Chains A and B, each alone.
Chain A
Amino acid sequence: MKKAILTAKELCKSFAHNGGQLHIISNVDMQLFEGDFTVIMGASGSGKSTLLYALSGMDRATSGSIMYEGMDLVTLKEKKLAELRHTDFGFVFQQMHLVSNLTIFENVAVTGYLNKSVSAKETNRRTDELLEKMSISHIKTHLPSQVSGGEQQRCAIARAVINKPKLIFADEPTGALNRKNTSDVLDLMTQLNCEGQSILMVTHDVRAAARANRILYLSDGKILGDLTLAPYSADDIKSREAQINAWLTSLEW
């Protein structure tokens, strides 16, 4: 029996539009489980990113609830949400979003510094370790503008995991990368998941989705499908992709 770490009920997200309400997410009920690599797929405009940011507390849901460790993220105060972002959650964005005037090392370490329970020395050590793991230690004194997109994204992943979060939210992390960098980043994500890291990732790339063990299909703000896959293995990547494609076709993607 898997342990649910995040539970959303009747989640709605609407925006004011031309004097009315535009419903992006409608009454979504879902759970995320510990150790899962969950992927949200869907067509453009289906509300994937909106759902991801609502679930992470980055964006306030209009109604419903998102329970995390007994706290409802929908009503949680900004200070507590900020604390969750550097203690329990990690984020990887499509556009990397590294702080432009901090070095690669500092971009990772600065998040670690927010963690009061870890010393600066330990944060620096762990940052070095992560950069080594992400194969970017040789560029640690560079500014983001001086490194490639793939290296920036690896730095963003290192930043996301510096505080050993319970859940990583990734919004199309390979969306802005070339084929080689995409593969490297996905390998890293897979490796993290294999080490027990829970991940929720948004993507419309089947190759990326094939790394997950669970896929949710979103259409018009509603979850229309929930596919469970066997744990990832590099050897059966083709069959996984075929399975996903078939499932998506059945959902009229």
Chain B
Amino acid sequence: MEILTLVKANIKRRKGAFIAVILLTAIITASSLSIFNFIDSMDRELERSFSDRGDPTGVCFVYNKYYTPELEDKVRSLDIVQKLEVYDALDNWYNDGISNRVGNSNDGNSYFYMKLHDGIRLINSDATGFEDSIPALEKGEVYLPLGCREKLRCKVGDTLQTCFYYVKYEFKIKGFVQEPQNGSSQIGWKQVFISDEDFDELTKISAQTKADPKYKNDRAVQNGIEVKVFNTYKSPSYKGSDAQFQRDVNLATRLGDLSSGTLTKAQSVNYSSLAPNVLSKIVLTFIAVLFVVALVIMGHSISSEIEIDRKKLGILKSQGFTTRKIRLIMQIQYIIAMVIGIILGIAGSFFLSGLIADEFADVVGTPMSIRISIIKAVLMIGALVAISLLVMAVKTHKVTRISPVQAITGQKGDVYFDSRLNMGLSKKLLSLSLGIRQFTSAKRRYISMLIISALLMYFMVSINVIAGLVTSRNSLEMMGMEATQIDMNINNAGEDLLTIEEAEKRAEEIIEKYTSIEKKYAVNGSYCAINGYKIFCRAYKYPQYIGGVYKGRRPRQKNEIVITQLISDEFGWKIGDKVNVTGRGGELECMVTGIYQSMNDAGMVFAIPSEAFETINPSFKISYEGFVIKDESKAKQIADEIDKALVNDKGEKKGSCSYWNIENDGEEMYASEIKLLKTIIYSFSGVFMLIAVVLLCTKAFVLERRDIGIYKAIGFTSARLRMSFALRFSFVALLGSLIGIALSQLFTQKMMEMLLSVIGLCYLELETGILDIVIPMALLILGFFVFALIASRKIKRVETRELVAE
């Protein structure tokens, strides 16, 4: 009973600390559980989405040009294939700036237009679930996979523009559907659904176009747009992985070699969940750091309580309360706060998980119903409580050192100040110098504040540096991307086309009038097989500029390739190994000369000289070339001039050229994800900053009440004292910021490399801009200043009369 009475009294007296612990626990519980709930729900829903579709193992897109009924028969007859579905589809064209466009958003990837078939479910209007049935499409209507909503920034009722050959078509978006194989916004190619009437009409038009003598020499038209979509289902008795299944089918039938692209279920799931997984890991790391911050705050709060309540604790001891009982009382109040925080956190996690699920529905490609991850929740909460109890046990140990007599007589400990830095007061900067003196006089009191500000700063700088990854040419090159300034595309369709060589010659002549060329990337991507495994390949005309090679060397000879670490790990190929690279038109033995990193296809990619690639894919053509020039200020002007020069002998435009402004366009690429991360990290930092400052201010206020009275007695105003208080905390924030910056320089790269290793990015080149540091530093210092100014309002209530000894 006596314990309960004291616990109640303590909670009543230290409401601030009690509420702070509730808040911190609630934030940590809610955010971490939300992530766990979301990740588990995402994995479950992705599995369900495949199950809804009948659980196909892989999809292959084979142009009719390469399709034969024998190929289908061969695949169907394989023992390892349980079932095969083959659907007809039509691939769209890129023409006159349009491939798949809604409003201003254009998606240059292939969309395979096909008839609606079984297993496709219609998603409800708010993308939280499904309609009971999927209505048949009328002429001019289209169902798009959910991922298109983000890619094309569109909604139901919008008009989708596309091109088949040289003709533009429009479809009204009737709804969004679940299409598990290609439905994620993170996957380029899409399966979209149109009415049977439209499909049959387009097929007829395609046949007529190809037969039209006008297009007899048009290679692109003659290649056709008809595609067969192969859905393969592995036999239950097949025990290998999806990739191995695909490889075995390819080795037996050449299905993979003849496909333009393939995707296994494992790959689909991986691509769909990649971005949420990486972002979740970053957030979870941040939450782990916040947990450390919360422990520091809680530990500090316990120390403050012991220091402030010395007298009371001494009285309790003199009345027969044992140290153990007093420690138990202190711990119970924090446990109660934690329990309340955990309950609030669990409740909040439902709401937050739902928000995250809605945010990522387009990325995952299917609506997600959230269920609590009970095992992870129990483990997480168990760990949270256990670690907190340990900290409480350590921090309340100080109670044993309180002597009842010393405490009751109000004596301080033996040493009141740790030390004093020899830093004088300044008349001009009196408030600041007094503030700094308060800090230097009792540094230990501010260690927790320093740790907190350093950790918050570390994360704020880190997120800025991460955001900078997509706007830094060096960083992008290190990630195997082509960080060009001038991008040139030449047309593949039509007659009297420009060759890439001719376009390059013209572009170089124009560039050299203004500046010099530093790098050039003439490159194209396509799927081909290595030792039977279908892998995305980047064919470079100038392999000496392949970026991101960190082990071995770039290809110098025709039959040399570089692979990513993910491929090396997955298939066991190493530098010096010889592998068979197979295309539609042949096979080439190549040597692996290096390991590089690339963000293409989530790191499952290899690079080869285009000279070699052309020998195994005779129809392969490079239609893109990008340039890195010395003087970027001229890039826009040069790009415009090149654009005008991309005409054939008849003066017809046969290509386009544009300036890629990395500062703007790079940020645009990942705007929503980076914004979400920044919002989470900055807002959590703000809340933690507020709690830390309020708790520390309260402690400082109690300990310095007498000094405040003295300052007032000698003529200091409340405003000046509050300013000094706030400046002191700003000074601590400044020191903490500097530590945080140092930490970020030491560990951000390693942290990011660890987190991004899942997509094969093991070596990053991070660049820290001055604003990446200045903005969070200013926010932190300003935040501490403002919160301390607000928290120090109690100074107004200190009367000099408190100094009077009657």
Interface residues of B (CB under 8 A from A): 416-417, 420, 424-428, 430, 434, 437-438, 441-442, 706-707, 709-719, 799-801, 803-806
State the 9 A-B residue pairs at the shortest beta-carbon distance, nearest first: A86-B715, A101-B441, A120-B427, A85-B715, A113-B427, A58-B800, A82-B717, A59-B801, A111-B714
Nearest CB of B to A213, in Å: 25
A83 and B717 CA atoms in complex are apart in Å by 8
| A154 at interface, CB cutoff 8 A | no
Interface residues of A in 27-86 (CB under 8 A from B): 44-45, 49-50, 53, 58-59, 78-79, 82-86
Most chain A beta-carbon contacts within 10 A, residue among B441, B719, B805 = B805
A82 and B711 CA atoms in complex are apart in Å by 10
Instruction: Determine the chain A residues whose CB is within 8 A of the CB of B805 once the complex forms.
Output: 49, 93-95, 171-172, 175
Nearest CB of B to A136, in Å: 18
A95 and B804 CA atoms in complex are apart in Å by 8
| A109 at interface, CB cutoff 8 A | yes
Nearest CB of B to A209, in Å: 19
Instruction: Determine the chain A residues whose CB is within 8 A of the CB of B717 once the complex forms.
Output: 78-79, 82
A123 and B706 CA atoms in complex are apart in Å by 25
A91 and B713 CA atoms in complex are apart in Å by 7
Q: Given the interface contacts A78-B717, A91-B714, does A120 sit within 8 Å of B426 by beta carbon?
A: yes
A44 and B441 CA atoms in complex are apart in Å by 37
Instruction: Determine the chain B residues whose CB is within 8 A of the CB of A111 once the complex forms.
Output: 714-715
A133 and B420 CA atoms in complex are apart in Å by 27
A13 and B795 CA atoms in complex are apart in Å by 23
Q: Given the interface contacts A58-B800, A100-B707, does A114 sit within 8 Å of B716 by beta carbon?
A: yes
A83 and B720 CA atoms in complex are apart in Å by 12
Instruction: Determine the chain A residues whose CB is within 8 A of the CB of B719 once the complex forms.
Output: 79
Of B428, B712, B714, B806, which is within 8 A of A110 by CB? B714
Interface residues of A (CB under 8 A from B): 44-45, 49-50, 53, 58-59, 78-79, 82-87, 91, 93-95, 97-102, 106, 109-111, 113-114, 119-120, 123, 143, 145, 159, 171-172, 175
Nearest CB of A to B728, in Å: 12
Interchain CB contact under 8 A, B806 and A95: no
Instruction: Determine the chain A residues whose CB is within 8 A of the CB of B713 once the complex forms.
Output: 58, 85, 91, 93, 97
Most chain B beta-carbon contacts within 10 A, residue among A45, A78, A82, A172 = A82
A171 and B804 CA atoms in complex are apart in Å by 8
Chain A residue nearest in CB terms to B424: A106
Chain A residue nearest in CB terms to B440: A101
Interchain CB contact under 8 A, A82 and B716: yes
Q: Given the interface contacts A49-B804, A79-B717, A110-B425, does A101 sit within 8 Å of B712 by beta carbon?
A: no
Of A53, A97, A114, A171, which is within 8 A of B715 by CB? A114
Chain A residue nearest in CB terms to B713: A91
24 contacts between A and B (CB under 8 A): A44-B806, A45-B806, A49-B805, A50-B804, A50-B806, A53-B800, A59-B804, A78-B718, A82-B716, A84-B715, A91-B714, A93-B804, A97-B803, A99-B707, A99-B710, A101-B417, A101-B437, A106-B424, A110-B430, A111-B714, A113-B430, A145-B416, A159-B714, A171-B805
Nearest CB of B to A37, in Å: 21
7 more A-B residue pairs beyond the given contacts A49-B806, A59-B799, A119-B427, with a C-beta to C-beta distance below 8 A: A58-B713, A78-B717, A97-B803, A101-B417, A110-B425, A113-B430, A120-B426
Interchain CB contact under 8 A, A109 and B425: yes
Interchain CB contact under 8 A, A99 and B711: yes
Chain A residue nearest in CB terms to B707: A99
Instruction: Determine the chain A residues whose CB is within 8 A of the CB of B716 once the complex forms.
Output: 82, 86, 114
Instruction: Determine the chain B residues whose CB is within 8 A of the CB of A109 once the complex forms.
Output: 425
Interchain CB contact under 8 A, A58 and B416: no
Instruction: Determine the chain B residues whose CB is within 8 A of the CB of A86 once the complex forms.
Output: 714-716
Instruction: Determine the chain A residues whose CB is within 8 A of the CB of B804 once the complex forms.
Output: 49-50, 53, 59, 93, 171
Of A53, A79, A98, which is within 8 A of B801 by CB? A53
Chain B residue nearest in CB terms to A45: B806
A44 and B805 CA atoms in complex are apart in Å by 11
Chain B residue nearest in CB terms to A90: B714
Of A95, A100, A114, which is within 8 A of B803 by CB? A95
Interchain CB contact under 8 A, B800 and A110: no
Of B417, B710, B799, B806, which is within 8 A of A143 by CB? B417
Nearest CB of A to B429, in Å: 10
A97 and B437 CA atoms in complex are apart in Å by 18
Instruction: Determine the chain B residues whose CB is within 8 A of the CB of A44 once the complex forms.
Output: 806
A15 and B716 CA atoms in complex are apart in Å by 26
A243 and B335 CA atoms in complex are apart in Å by 68
Interchain CB contact under 8 A, A143 and B800: no
A185 and B17 CA atoms in complex are apart in Å by 45
Instruction: Determine the chain B residues whose CB is within 8 A of the CB of A94 once the complex forms.
Output: 805
Interchain CB contact under 8 A, B430 and A101: no
A79 and B712 CA atoms in complex are apart in Å by 10
Instruction: Determine the chain B residues whose CB is within 8 A of the CB of A95 once the complex forms.
Output: 803, 805
Chain A residue nearest in CB terms to B706: A97
Of B416, B427, B712, which is within 8 A of A100 by CB? B416
Interchain CB contact under 8 A, A58 and B430: no
Nearest CB of B to A36, in Å: 22
Instruction: Determine the chain B residues whose CB is within 8 A of the CB of A79 once the complex forms.
Output: 717, 719
Chain B residue nearest in CB terms to A172: B805
A42 and B516 CA atoms in complex are apart in Å by 96
A53 and B715 CA atoms in complex are apart in Å by 14
Nearest CB of A to B54, in Å: 76
Q: Given the interface contacts A101-B417, A109-B425, A110-B425, does A85 sit within 8 Å of B801 by beta carbon?
A: no
Instruction: Determine the chain A residues whose CB is within 8 A of the CB of B426 once the complex forms.
Output: 120
A123 and B425 CA atoms in complex are apart in Å by 12
A179 and B800 CA atoms in complex are apart in Å by 28
Instruction: Determine the chain B residues whose CB is within 8 A of the CB of A106 once the complex forms.
Output: 424-425
Nearest CB of A to B778, in Å: 29
Interchain CB contact under 8 A, A58 and B801: yes
Nearest CB of A to B509, in Å: 70
Nearest CB of A to B423, in Å: 11
Q: Given the interface contacts A45-B806, A59-B801, A109-B425, does A101 sit within 8 Å of B714 by beta carbon?
A: no
Chain B residue nearest in CB terms to A84: B715
Instruction: Determine the chain B residues whose CB is within 8 A of the CB of A143 once the complex forms.
Output: 417, 420
Q: Given the interface contacts A58-B801, A95-B803, does A102 sit within 8 Å of B711 by beta carbon?
A: no
Instruction: Determine the chain B residues whose CB is within 8 A of the CB of A93 once the complex forms.
Output: 713, 803-805
Interchain CB contact under 8 A, A85 and B427: no
A113 and B713 CA atoms in complex are apart in Å by 15
Instruction: Determine the chain A residues whose CB is within 8 A of the CB of B416 once the complex forms.
Output: 100, 145
Instruction: Determine the chain A residues whose CB is within 8 A of the CB of B711 once the complex forms.
Output: 99
Of A82, A87, A119, which is within 8 A of B712 by CB? A82
Of A97, A100, A120, A159, which is within 8 A of B709 by CB? A97
Interchain CB contact under 8 A, B706 and A101: no
Of B709, B710, B715, which is within 8 A of A98 by CB? B710
Nearest CB of B to A184, in Å: 21
Interchain CB contact under 8 A, A102 and B714: no
Nearest CB of A to B465, in Å: 39
Instruction: Determine the chain B residues whose CB is within 8 A of the CB of A98 once the complex forms.
Output: 710
Nearest CB of B to A117, in Å: 12
A155 and B806 CA atoms in complex are apart in Å by 22
A101 and B425 CA atoms in complex are apart in Å by 12
Instruction: Determine the chain A residues whose CB is within 8 A of the CB of B715 once the complex forms.
Output: 82-87, 111, 114
Instruction: Determine the chain A residues whose CB is within 8 A of the CB of B801 once the complex forms.
Output: 53, 58-59
Nearest CB of A to B601, in Å: 62
Most chain A beta-carbon contacts within 10 A, residue among B426, B714, B805 = B714
A120 and B433 CA atoms in complex are apart in Å by 14
A87 and B713 CA atoms in complex are apart in Å by 12
Most chain A beta-carbon contacts within 10 A, residue among B426, B710, B711, B719 = B710
Nearest CB of A to B211, in Å: 94
Q: Given the interface contacts A97-B709, A123-B427, A143-B420, does A59 sit within 8 Å of B714 by beta carbon?
A: no
A143 and B707 CA atoms in complex are apart in Å by 14
Chain B residue nearest in CB terms to A106: B425
A220 and B583 CA atoms in complex are apart in Å by 110
